[in-house]
Structure 1
Amino acid sequence: MNLPDAFRSLPDLIRDHARTRPDAPALTTGDDVLSYGALDTLMDRVAAALQRDGCAPGGTVALCGAACNAYLVLFLGALRAGLAAVPLAPGSTPEQLAGMVRDCGAGHLFSDAGTTAALAGQPLPPELHRRRFDDDDAPDSWRRWLAPEGSAPQPVALQPEQAFNVIYSSGTTGTPKGIVQPHAMRWGQVRRAATAGYGPDAVTLIATPLYSNTTLVVVVPSIAHGGHVVLMPKFDAAAYLALAERHRATHTMLVPVQYRRLMESPVFDQHDLRSFRFKACTSAPFPAALKAEVLRRWPGGLTEYYGMTEGGGSCILPCHENPDKLHTVGRPAEGHDIRLIDEDGRELPPGPDTVGEVVGRSPSMMTGYHGQPAKTREAEWFDAEGRRYIRTGDVGRFDADGFLILMDRRKDVIISGGFNVYPSDLEAVLREHPAVADVAVVGVPSARWGETPVAFVVLRSGEGDDAGTLRDWANARLGKTQRLADLRLCGTLPRSAIGKVLKRELRDTYGAAPD
């Protein structure tokens, strides 16, 4: 599909597809298939119902639950009414969920049974409309709430600066913050996606949650270009492979832990995956060895994206085109400006030995944190000309070819005896051991050094190495200031729903303070 240069909203693009290809599949969950014509009609009924309930452009609608066709129908219908969608993480605590609903000012909350139960007894605004989207026969079903068949909403002319969605940060380091992303940001992603082979013949398999920006950066372009989105409510490696083969999937977005589970699946090589032409990855560190294995065993290109939900600068690494750069996250995307600053906020000169915090500027930037101007200012950096950048909190450097190498999160850098120790360096060494399946290194308090590194290791199935032997093996290969004070074996590492290791939990569970 040839997109115009001028801004077009996603609801308008869906209308175009419904008029030209009404019977083409748009969304599939299990045996539930929704065509573009049916999707467009349902979006009208959702928008009309929201307007009937008094919702005006600029308001918000909250959604929480597992991925399914109804979830996206409600999300997209809210956009057509001029509202911003607020997808919430079901894994949040009930207190966090209630707090986010209150914070975003949503007039409606659409949820599944699990979220409905979790919110029982939580203080919510009395005027909040609540509906279920996972049971069409329930008394409070969204189907019973819809405007009658044939209903059409009052037209709303969506503007680029209007809020498209509000995505809340994970809250793993404090109270979740609402990240406001405008239509212009999504339009920029849709335009860039044209180079990734999206189009009416594309089939995008989704196995990450819909509340995550990781997922939306693939779902939105897929629909905008008239492709078919196949939703998988809960990831399972064997089921994913069967779905991919059944639907002849061409596109997907997965996080590193999902790629690892697929590579470890005993049935991976039994499936025909030759239909794939675009595989993407983001959200968490993607080890170079795992990238190489995916390239070797899985047909089609592999592209890693580095960026933040807040927007700012992004880097792109087409792994299949740069097999010697798999230790990097790629070069800045076209039109994206990535720079490095020091701890005092001063811009650092370019060079392969320069290490600093990554800041970025691009057309894809959040408006700010919802209702939190002070937090918004903390996330911003301005250059000498007064141009606005978003601070990532990541520490990195550029190599001689302009590829960005990430060192660590700034808050995760271990300062031991006055030296900066980057956990990613230690993790890379431990991953070289054949018994290590997964690893995370954190800094813990030390009376002698201030902080000292401790490793948490998951062993491969059938491996019986003891912690002391593995620690000695690693320390023999690490510099004096990098050596591990302790190594603990564990069954799994705590991760968020999109695969990020929750290092704060590891620090909290580590009781002793080594000397």
Structure 2
Amino acid sequence: MPTASEMLSADFGSVPGVVRQLASEDPQHLALVVDDRQLTRAQFDQLVDRVAAALQRDGVRQGEAVSVCAGTSVEYAVLYIGVLRAGAAVAPIAPSVTGEQMAAMIGDSGSRLVFLDRDAHATLGERAAELDARIVALDGSGVGQDWSDWLAAAGSEPKPVEIRPEDPFNIIYSSGTTGVPKGIVHSNMMRWRQVAMGGNPAYAEAVTLISTPLYSNTTLVSFLPTVAQGGTAVLMRKFDARAYLELAERTRATHTMLVPVQYKRIMAVPEFDRFDLSSFVLKTCTSAPFAAELKRDILVRWPGQLVEYYGMTEGGCSFMLKAHEHPDKLHTVGQAMPGHEAILIDDDGKPVAAGEAGEIVGRSPTMSKGYLNRDDKTREMQWYDEDGNLWYRHGDVGRFDADGFLILTDRKKDMIISGGFNIFPSDIEAVAKDCPQVEDVSVVGVPSEQWGETPVAFYVGAADPRSVVEFTNSRVGKTQRLADAIRVEDLPRSAIGKVLKRELREAYEIRSR
């Protein structure tokens, strides 16, 4: 039997497989910590077995999706790996979505088994009875079959499953309030390449402090390597800047992944410099624009390396900035990672000249399978070069400096990034247009001290601004709620009728001075 280290050096393997091997090599090593609950590798592995056995007992087939919508917990973490051990795929759903969104995502995934906590079930509301799926209460709240009753008996083992490279690992859903949400399908091979890292022991002895939720791809890119390489994952149920610092000091955290707004809040804690953070080896960041000034402050005041990642959940090309090695490049998102390629194209799909800005397209060994049940959207994302090679459109605009570092200049996709989450203005606009006495509306992202960006609606009509905000916010997810609504005579448009959102953002900036 190969060792865990040897397994991680292979071209392909499975996360649940290496978790089992790690448990056999050092069963008492701490694997998971959530509040005052701790699981050793052996305890974690045994619970994963019980989950996989229960799924097989209930007829969950290989490649089938299992949905989960809940807050961070030991049960959530165990469920995630257990679903994989059964050969199925995880479809994690953000608790911040609306009941309509949640039902649509569960239906789109084809899940026949859904794990919810009390809050998620309350959000789902009356739609819970309409689901073509059985509900298990992950938190024992009674909203479905109790987790402890559902779980297979202690000592249960699942039937061995050959996990295939092309099979789905997970389905990560984009937020959306209209139509069918887009489910990004990651294969087992894609995730293996991310977590194994060619046997790189970056997380082998890590104590990784994770304060983002388990449904987020941002979380998975640090949680999965920690679990698969043998580190200890310390999960926070809810982020609080001071509580994060206290936990980091107490657990002697070595690794962490945070989004920019979290870094900003942590660095702003008045007593920050009193905390002992000397154990940190690696701090990473992704999901949203990361201000150069904030990076510089972290480099000065927070020990350990600082690495920024830029890329898409869908895959394509990922960029990496080792800020501690390139303090003169903090205004960039770094260079393409090894094995990743990117080029810039113009509106006609042709590569731009050196030094010019263009839309980013990329390719790499870690590309998703596209969007579940949405071949049209998958095709929109694809771009082929003259040799027929497939690349993915990032939707962002940037330019390369003389050293090959990427500078982001704009977002081609109409997207707002708030607190590290992607928000599509068109989804909010579709809701706001239904507000009485609203004739036309456009939503833009404006700077926010708390969230980085936040949505604001500009509208034409006789409606009162407060009524527009209240109407819209009662019908969208928490992360999509409007911060403000502004009545205008007309929306600025181009010669072909496209709303000039840049002008709206500039108008809001002037208004806020």
TM over 0.5: yes
| Counterpart selection for 1:371 from 370, 373, 380 | 373
Q: Residue 125 of structure 2: SS of its match in structure 1?
A: coil
With over 3 angstroms needed to count, the CA separation of the structure-2 counterparts of 1:299 and 1:56, relative to structure 1, is same
| Counterpart selection for 2:390 from 388, 391, 403 | 388
Residue 206 of structure 2 corresponds to which residue in structure 1? 202
Residue 80 of structure 2 corresponds to which residue in structure 1? 75
Aligned length: 440
With over 3 angstroms needed to count, the CA separation of the structure-2 counterparts of 1:453 and 1:16, relative to structure 1, is closer
Residue 437 of structure 1 corresponds to which residue in structure 2? none
Indicate whether 1:295 and 2:299 are aligned.
yes
With over 3 angstroms needed to count, the CA separation of the structure-2 counterparts of 1:301 and 1:194, relative to structure 1, is farther
Query: What amino acid does structure 2 have at the position aligned with 1:337?
Result: E
**1:383-408 CA distances to partner (integer Å, 9 max, x unpaired)?**
11111111111000100000000011
Poorly superposed stretches of 4+, deviation over 4 Å = 123-127, 136-139, 172-175, 193-196, 452-460
Counterpart-to-counterpart distance in 1, 2:391 and 2:319: 15
1:281 to partner: Cα distance:
0.3
Q: Which runs of 5+ in 1 are unaligned?
A: 414-422, 425-441, 445-451, 461-494
Of 395-404 and 3-12, deviating more is 3-12
With over 3 angstroms needed to count, the CA separation of the structure-2 counterparts of 1:63 and 1:457, relative to structure 1, is closer
| Contact 1:11-1:76 at 8 Å conserved across structures | yes
Indicate whether 1:259 and 2:263 are aligned.
yes
Counterpart-to-counterpart distance in 2, 1:455 and 1:400: 31
Residue 189 of structure 1 corresponds to which residue in structure 2? 194
Residue 403 of structure 1 corresponds to which residue in structure 2? 405
Indicate whether 1:334 and 2:338 are aligned.
yes
With over 3 angstroms needed to count, the CA separation of the structure-2 counterparts of 1:110 and 1:402, relative to structure 1, is same
Query: What amino acid does structure 2 have at the position aligned with 1:357?
Result: E
| Counterpart selection for 2:12 from 7, 21, 24 | 7
Q: Residue 263 of structure 2: SS of its match in structure 1?
A: helix
| Contact 1:250-1:275 at 8 Å conserved across structures | yes
| Contact 2:206-2:254 at 8 Å conserved across structures | yes
> 1:129-144 maps to which residues of 2 (within 5 A)?
129-135=134-140, 140-144=145-149
> 1:42-61 maps to which residues of 2 (within 5 A)?
42-61=47-66
Query: What amino acid does structure 1 have at the position aligned with 2:50?
Result: R
Counterpart-to-counterpart distance in 1, 2:219 and 2:54: 27
1:137 to partner: Cα distance:
8.1
Aligned-residue identity in percent: 50
1:411 to partner: Cα distance:
3.9
| Contact 1:196-1:278 at 8 Å conserved across structures | no
With over 3 angstroms needed to count, the CA separation of the structure-2 counterparts of 1:196 and 1:398, relative to structure 1, is farther
| Counterpart selection for 1:279 from 267, 279, 283 | 283
Indicate whether 1:106 and 2:111 are aligned.
yes
What is the TM-score with the length of structure 2 in the denominator?
Answer: 0.80
Residue 467 of structure 1 corresponds to which residue in structure 2? none
Counterpart-to-counterpart distance in 2, 1:173 and 1:196: 43
1:509 to partner: Cα distance:
2.3
Residue 347 of structure 2 corresponds to which residue in structure 1? 343
| Counterpart selection for 2:231 from 223, 227, 231 | 227
Q: Which runs of 5+ in 2 are unaligned?
A: 418-424, 430-441, 451-472, 493-513
1:112 to partner: Cα distance:
1.1
Counterpart-to-counterpart distance in 1, 2:448 and 2:125: 37
Q: Residue 38 of structure 2: SS of its match in structure 1?
A: strand
Query: What amino acid does structure 1 have at the position aligned with 2:487?
Result: G
Counterpart-to-counterpart distance in 2, 1:104 and 1:505: 29
| Counterpart selection for 2:133 from 128, 132, 135 | 128
Counterpart-to-counterpart distance in 1, 2:187 and 2:73: 24
With over 3 angstroms needed to count, the CA separation of the structure-2 counterparts of 1:30 and 1:6, relative to structure 1, is same
Counterpart-to-counterpart distance in 1, 2:97 and 2:34: 24
Counterpart-to-counterpart distance in 2, 1:316 and 1:8: 25
Residue 158 of structure 1 corresponds to which residue in structure 2? 163
Indicate whether 1:96 and 2:106 are aligned.
no
1:313 to partner: Cα distance:
0.5
Residue 427 of structure 1 corresponds to which residue in structure 2? none
| Contact 2:9-2:198 at 8 Å conserved across structures | no
Q: Residue 265 of structure 1: SS of its match in structure 2?
A: coil
Counterpart-to-counterpart distance in 1, 2:154 and 2:443: 62
Counterpart-to-counterpart distance in 1, 2:149 and 2:113: 15
| Contact 1:23-1:37 at 8 Å conserved across structures | yes
Counterpart-to-counterpart distance in 2, 1:369 and 1:378: 11
**1:254-275 CA distances to partner (integer Å, 9 max, x unpaired)?**
0000000001111211210000
Counterpart-to-counterpart distance in 1, 2:186 and 2:135: 24
Query: What amino acid does structure 1 have at the position aligned with 2:172?
Result: I
With over 3 angstroms needed to count, the CA separation of the structure-2 counterparts of 1:136 and 1:45, relative to structure 1, is farther
Query: What amino acid does structure 2 have at the position aligned with 1:158?
Result: I
Residue 447 of structure 1 corresponds to which residue in structure 2? none
Residue 66 of structure 1 corresponds to which residue in structure 2? 71
Indicate whether 1:319 and 2:323 are aligned.
yes
Query: What amino acid does structure 2 have at the position aligned with 1:57?
Result: Q
With over 3 angstroms needed to count, the CA separation of the structure-2 counterparts of 1:203 and 1:175, relative to structure 1, is same
What is the alpha-carbon root mean square deviation over aligned residues? 2.9
Residue 461 of structure 2 corresponds to which residue in structure 1? none
1:140 to partner: Cα distance:
2.5
What is the TM-score with the length of structure 1 in the denominator?
Answer: 0.80
| Counterpart selection for 1:85 from 82, 87, 90 | 90
Counterpart-to-counterpart distance in 1, 2:95 and 2:245: 25
Residue 485 of structure 2 corresponds to which residue in structure 1? 509
With over 3 angstroms needed to count, the CA separation of the structure-2 counterparts of 1:514 and 1:156, relative to structure 1, is closer
| Contact 2:136-2:143 at 8 Å conserved across structures | no
Counterpart-to-counterpart distance in 1, 2:396 and 2:335: 15
Q: Residue 151 of structure 1: SS of its match in structure 2?
A: coil
Q: Residue 321 of structure 1: SS of its match in structure 2?
A: coil
